[in-house]
Structure 1
Amino acid sequence: MKKIAVIGAGVTGVTTAYALMNRGFEVTVFDQNRYAAMDTSFANGGQLSASNAEVWNRWSTVFKGMKWMFKRGAPLLVNPKPSWHKYSWMAEFVANIPGYRQNTIDTVRMAIAAREHLKETAKAEGFTFDAEERGILHIYNTKYEYDHATAVNALLEEGGLVREAVSPSEIKALEPAIVGDYYGGYYTASDMTGDIHRYSRGLSDACRKKGVNFHFRADVTGIRMVEGGHIVHWSDDDGTQTEDRFDGIVVCAGVSSRKFGQMLGDRVNVYPVKGYSITVSLDDDTSQAAAPWISLLDDEAKVVTSRLGKTRFRIAGTAEFNGYNWDIRDDRVRPLVKWVERNFPDVETEHAVPWAGLRPMMPNMVPLVDAGKRPGVYYNTGHGHLGWTLSAATAEIIGDKIRDDMAA
């Protein structure tokens, strides 16, 4: 039986481990945290959203970044401090603008496939993750935003997604709790939401029961190529050094994938784009009744929401280009709280727990799901803001590739 090491136990690493286990491999997962899904897969917006598959490679994104550079509460914030990694990544981002159309269509197709894999897996393994299959409603404040959404809709449809235009009155009918006037919206009935952390923990537990090895609190310090495979060196939290030989390695390490790519002789140009969320505890009957059940995406504010059961309301958004920085800044969290208070004024926000995570983004906004230069090295990383949405599909893609390569 071939042995495969998976580096990273976020949603991408866990789904990859599951896919490889189902293809008959002996799988070992390494992660620096104590549990699965403790970094970017801990508290994201919760949306499984094929409807949000539009890539960001547009000139308007560049202009917004320049416009908002010195506005601390802006939805998109770029720290102007010079950094070769950041500015070289941005140059590649601009160079990929011509690929906007095809990359959007390809991402939609992956997202639709992933959604079905994800649901089938949870059902087969018998765990729940606060799933709400009520669709996702995109809301627009202006004609300009709505017209752009209409243009994007043509690409989503080409990718196989059904998304319906809705009027202001239909927005209120779909989500009676929302306050405010909107120009219009688009509703995707097939999209859904769920708790990424609960899903990842549930799937990691299922993998462990079926024989997948997990090394938590394991810092992978080196990877050495040997004949027919690789030696992985790691240390645990008390400094004990260990090594083991594997026939193949899959890097699913989020924003650390760049570091591991360098160890393995590959350029993996992921950049850490920080996102924030708040989880509002709905502790009273009034808040529970006033919070939305349908998932929302406010295009102007770049805010997404999900209802995680009766007593939790997740609000997430913003994109911050500020390097490997996990600091939770109040001036970035406050706009999320104010958004709730403006749109759902009867929801009590006293108990809103903030969080920040670093999304691993490739310059073309498409995940890297492929082999590396060395035999037996693979990558499933760089999913950006769609890790939760795409992971189940990319795990199947890389699982098939590794199976076929190892059989050759």
Structure 2
Amino acid sequence: MKSYVIIGGGITGVTTAYALVKRGYRVTLIERHRYAAMETSFANGGQLSASNAEVWNHWGTVFKGLKWIFKKDAPLLINMKPSWHKASWFAEFMAAIPNYKANTIQTAKMAIDARKHLFSWAEQEGVDFDLKKEGILHIYRDQIGFRHAGEVSKLLAAGGLHREAVTPSEMKLIEPTLSGEYYGGYYTESDSTGDIHKFTVGLAKACERLGVKFIHDHEVVQVQSNGERVQVQIKSGSQLDQLSFDNIVVCAGIASRDLAAQLGDRLNVYPVKGYSITVNLNDEQSQQCAPTVSLLDDETKLVTSRLGLLRFRVAGTAEFNGENRDIRMDRIKPLVSWVEQCFPKVNTRSVVPWAGLRPMMPNMLPRVGRGKLGNVFYNTGHGHLGWTLSACTAEMIADIIHGSAHQPRFFPRPSLGKVAAA
């Protein structure tokens, strides 16, 4: 049986390892941190949200971005310092606007497909990740946002997802703790939430039991392939080692772009920073007054999840600032203020801030498939939906590798074939 090395120990890499080892392959996973899920898979918004499948390639997003461009606490922030990488990404983002509807429908299909795999894996392997199947409520403060949501719902329905419009009074019945005045909402009962870090760590342990070899605390310095064998140079401290495998699967988040270049492929992943806060619910009143239903606030672009009894996660924003991992308090403050406005009885004395770099493709679709060389594969670039889509794309890349007779289910063939521009 041929050997596979997976680069990256986040949600995408670990789910890929699981899908491959379950098919009987020899798998090694290399992760630069001491543990799995220590970067973008550490403290995201928690939503497993087919209802958030709408891609961002829309003129409305562009106009909002222009409106927010000089506002430091806006949902979207762009560092105006020029770079070719950023310029090329935005050019390709604009070029993908005509595919907005088709890509939204495809993403919804993938998100729905991912659910059954993820839930099944967790049940089979006994992974506890604070799963809560209470649905997701999208909240809208004005008629314009609500009407746009109605159009989005038609696209989601074409992808197989049902969500229903609800009145402000119905919103209060769905989530009684929510304060404020709203125009209306959309509720997706089939959506859910969970802790991405706990799931990834739990599934990584299952992978080890099944025979996956993990190499932690080693950074990949260089990768090379001649189409038959892959050479991977790794480093820990001052120690360099050279490893050899039959095949490689790149699941390396924002590092995927550089690795792809070394392997002869162009992968225009850009690091889009997102922020979150975890509110520790240390008193009984906060526990009772924090929501159990997950929310998405359209105006602020914030999402929430309730992680067990004692934690409330709020996340969102998009910051185009290169490979910058700084946690800016002027970006964290709006998240705390949002909690205090929408859930005034929740104590915000104990709040843990976090930031992660989402690996985002310009067309908002993950890159899943072969590279130019026959032993190079990619499963990366999931953007803000890595948690939601990971189980589906892991199965997709495993199907491609396994050579199953049926074609991959959702992307047009060019997107799954050799990696090209975009």
TM over 0.5: yes
Partner of 2:220: 220
User: CA 1:405/1:228 → structure 2, altered by over 3 Å: closer, same or farther?
Assistant: farther
- The Cα shift of 1:143 comes to 0.4
State how far apart, in whole Å, the 2-side matches of 1:67 and 1:166 are: 29
Where do 5+ consecutive residues of structure 1 fail to align? Answer: none
Displacement of 1:375: 1.5
Matched, 1:367 2:366: yes
Q: How far apart are 1:235 and its partner, in Å?
A: 1.2
* Deviation string, structure 1 residues 258-297 (Cα, Å, up to 9, x no partner): 0101110111100000000000000000100110000000
Question: Matches of 1:384 and 1:71 in 2, distance apart?
Answer: 23
Alpha-carbon separation, structure 2, partners of 1:203 and 1:244: 25
Q: Residue 293 of structure 1 aligns with which residue?
A: 292
Residues 1:201 and 2:195 are matched in the alignment? no
What do the CA deviations read for 1:64-121 (whole angstroms, capped 9, x no partner)?
A: 1121111000001111111110011000000000000000000000000001100000
SS of 2:274 mapped into structure 1: strand
Q: Aligned residues: percent identity? A: 61
How far does the alpha carbon of each residue in 1:109-155 deviate from its partner, in whole angstroms, 9 at most, with x for none? 00000011000000000111000000000000000000000000000
Task: Give the match for residue 43 of structure 1.
Answer: 43
Q: Provide the residue aligned with 2:79 in structure 1.
A: 79
Which moves more between the two structures, 258-267 or 220-229? 220-229
Q: Does 1:99 align with 2:99?
A: yes
Q: TM-score, normalised by structure 2?
A: 0.95
1:124 paired with 2:124, answer yes
Q: CA RMSD in A?
A: 1.1
Residue identity opposite 1:128 in structure 2: D
Q: Deviation string for 1:144-181 (max 9, x for gaps)?
A: 00000000000000000010111000000000001111
Question: Partner residue of 2:419?
Answer: none
Shift of residue 244, structure 1, vs aligned partner: 1.8
1:84 counterpart letter in structure 2? W
| Matched AA of 1:22 | K
Q: What number of residue pairs does the alignment pair up?
A: 405
Change (3 A) 1:337 1:227: closer
Equivalent position amino acid for 1:334 in 2: K
Q: Distance in 1 between matches of 2:25 and 2:229?
A: 14
**TM-score, length basis structure 1:** 0.98
Matched, 1:380 2:379: yes
Alpha-carbon distance in 2 for matches of 1:286, 1:223? 53
Indicate how the Cα distance of structure 1 residues 311 and 150 shifts in structure 2: closer, same or farther if over 3 A, else same. same
The amino acid of 1:27's aligned partner reads V
Within 5 Å, which residues of 2 pair with 1:178-193? 178-193=178-193
Matching residue of 1:12: 12
SS at match of 2:403: helix
1:22 maps to what in 2? 22
Cα distance 1:153–1:227, how it changes in 2: closer, same or farther (>3 A)? closer
What residue number does 1:133 align with?
133
Amino acid at match of 1:239: S
Please give the alpha-carbon distance, in whole angstroms, between the structure 2 residues aligned to 1:297 and 1:384: 17
Q: CA deviation at 1:405?
A: 8.3
SS in 2 for 1:34: coil
Partner amino acid, structure 1, of 2:254: V
**Alignment partner, residue 159 of structure 2:** 159
Following TM superposition, by how much is the alpha carbon of 1:374 offset from its aligned partner in structure 2, in angstroms? 1.1
The CA deviation string for residues 8-38 of structure 1, in whole angstroms up to 9 with x for no partner, is 0000000000001011110000111110000
